[in-house]
Chains A and B, each alone.
Chain A
Amino acid sequence: MARSVTQQRKIINTAAAWAVGLLIFFPILWTILTSFKTEAQAISDPPVFLAFDWTLENYSVVMERSNYMRFLWNSVIIAGGSTLLGILIAIPAAWSMAFVPSKRTKDILLWMLSTKMLPAVGVLYPIYLIFIKMGLLDTRIALVIVLMLINLPIIVWMLYTYFKEIPGEILEAARMDGASLRDEVLYVLTPMAIPGIASTILLNVILAWNEAFWTLNLTAAKAAPLTAFIASYSSPEGLFYAKLSAASTMAIAPILILGWFSQKQLVSGLTFGAVK
């Protein structure tokens, strides 16, 4: 039951929340602002907040100089590819667990989760070695495979949760209507689960986009995505604040926007349904 709140209290709440919100958001805001400054203004003392000559120069420099588009393209391929591949493998698995549950379903789900908890560094060398032997080191395929595998448990889990909300009778109706298993999944289950599939895709693109262990350790020049591109700025010769800011803004902007859309699904997706 909503209750009337005194206007005064609401004003205080609003002020406090906005202050905290802006404080937390400030590093991102500052990065975005700096990306529009000249290098001199970026390190001016005292710092300038808004009263500077806005310029897009840093963006054009970053894109020309560091072959930004290739890194971006690698990120898109790796995040998108690993997510789509994961979805294709996970939909049938989630169908099985949601609609033909057996005594082992719960164990399988938990076991899948446990693979997610394997510390990456514990298996770094074997993976490294395998990809060298297969000639896949520093290729996008390698990262698509690895990121698909580390996110597969989350994808299966999220789809399973969404599929369970769909009444089994509708799939039985499809079976009675003469649909084969393929038709049932393709024409009935998938369209009905579109919202769930979409938010699963969204969350996993975000996770894959930001993944920074395998993307740093399995790539060099060819397949490096934006995470590695940004890391290359940590070397002293890359220290130009405005350009660093422009590069950072470009690396996080797409995912910030996607992320804001997916905040609702984030909670159940990341806690494996333990918090709803």
Chain B
Amino acid sequence: MATQHSRSAARIMMAPAVILLLGWMLVPLIMTLFFSFKKYLPLRGGDLGWVGFENYVRFVTSSSFWPSVLTTLVIVGGVLLITVILGVLLAILLNQPMWGQGMVRILVIAPFFVMPTVSALVWKNMFMDPVNGLFAHLWKFFGASPVEWLTQVPMTSIIVIVSWQWLPFATLILLTAIQSLDGEQLEASEMDGAPPLARFAFITLPHLGRAITVVVLIQTIFLLSIFAEIFVTTQGAFGTRTLTYLIYQRVLESQNVGLGSAGGVYAIILANIVAIFLMRIVGKNLDA
């Protein structure tokens, strides 16, 4: 529904955004692919020629690859589990009639706005420090000996920190979804004699299904690439080296660009698998 004038204007107006994003996507992607087939050590001889798939093979056969995949999966899975379950419960709680709802909402959302370096540092020092951290005091108060969080249970610690950051996101989205639930539907089921638990299982939860899927997919994409939390707390030590962190170390710390790039290609493929599912949902919503 438009004229030739407006259609050609539309193409011109869209061009900057499309060209920029196309460049942003293609140029680094092609370069990463290019490097991934080379032996490339910028500080030790530079470009040492083509090596075929050697980097790809070396990356997956190195002793740190599978542990890093496992670490990534445990962190992503743990955070997802915690944030979704607590998020649903919290959303239901916040949806109940109460005094000061707006204020509580603000308190719950706040961690999402804290920059990752700050939250990692605050948790690391002021809560998880084995001498001066609040947890140490708490443990001592109950007569237990303080835990060295980041060295003894590093994975749990990182999952706690990241979950704290992402719980607000899950809660907020699930709360929005719950609020769009038709109250009459719940009342009708109540008239039909369904007890509260059945109402939750058969009406609220299915209604939340889509929102939960969206939360899981979006968080997965962000969690796959968490960086600052590990950078600030353990620097990848004590078995907390995720795939992202491993690649970062290969590229910038040991300056083995070829190897790191091959890892990058794996990361891109992994993210795209998740992204496809997310796009399906978003795309369907566009048609509606």
- Interface residues, chain A, with chain B CB atoms under 8 Å away: 1, 5, 9-10, 13-14, 16-18, 20-22, 24-25, 27-28, 30-31, 34, 43, 45-47, 89-90, 92-93, 95-97, 99-100, 102, 106, 108-110, 112-115, 117-130, 149, 152-153, 156, 168, 181, 206, 209-210, 212-213, 216-217, 226-228, 230-231, 233-234, 239, 241, 244-245, 248, 251-252, 255-256, 258-260, 263, 266-267, 270-276
Flag whether B14 is at the interface (Cβ < 8 A): yes
On whether A267 and B173 interact (CB within 8 A), knowing A14-B100, A30-B126, A149-B21, the answer reads yes
**CB <8 Å contact, B115 and A46:** no
- Complex A-B: 17 CB contacts under 8 Å: A1-B183, A13-B96, A20-B90, A21-B108, A95-B10, A96-B10, A97-B14, A118-B29, A118-B271, A125-B257, A227-B116, A228-B117, A230-B118, A244-B125, A245-B122, A256-B114, A275-B177
From A1, A16, A27, B93 is in contact (CB under 8 Å) with A16
Residue of A nearest to B287 (CB): A106
B261 within 8 A of A: yes
User: How distant is the Cα of A137 from the Cα of B19 in the complex, in angstroms?
Assistant: 23
Tally of A-B Cβ pairs under 8 angstroms: 310
Determine if B110 is an interface residue (Cβ-Cβ < 8 Å).
Answer: yes
Considering the complex, give the chain A residue whose CB is closest to the CB of B106: A260
Within 8 A of A (CB), among B88-135: 90, 93-94, 96-101, 103-127, 132, 134
B111 and A216 form a contact (CB under 8 A): no
Contact A126 B32 (CB under 8 A): yes
| B6–A230 CB distance below 8 A | no
A244 to B115, CA, bound (A): 14
Contact residues in B for A5 (Cβ distance below 8 Å): 97
Chain B 1-41 against A: per-residue CB contact (8 Å), 1 yes, 0 no?
A: 11000110111011011101100110111011001000000
Q: Which of B27, B110, B214, B251 touches A28 (beta carbons < 8 Å)? A: B110
Q: How far is the CB of A249 from chain B (nearest CB, A)?
A: 9
| Contact status of A89 and B224, CB under 8 A, knowing A210-B113, A276-B180 | no
Q: Interface extent on B, as a size class?
A: 35 or more
Q: Which residue from chain B places its CB closest to the CB of A257 in the assembled complex?
A: B113
CB-based contact B168/A24 at 8 Å: yes
Residues of B within 8 A of A231 (CB): 117, 121, 228, 231-232
Nearest neighbor of B213 in chain A, beta-carbon distance? A274
CB contacts (< 8 Å) of A270 on chain B: these are 169, 173, 218
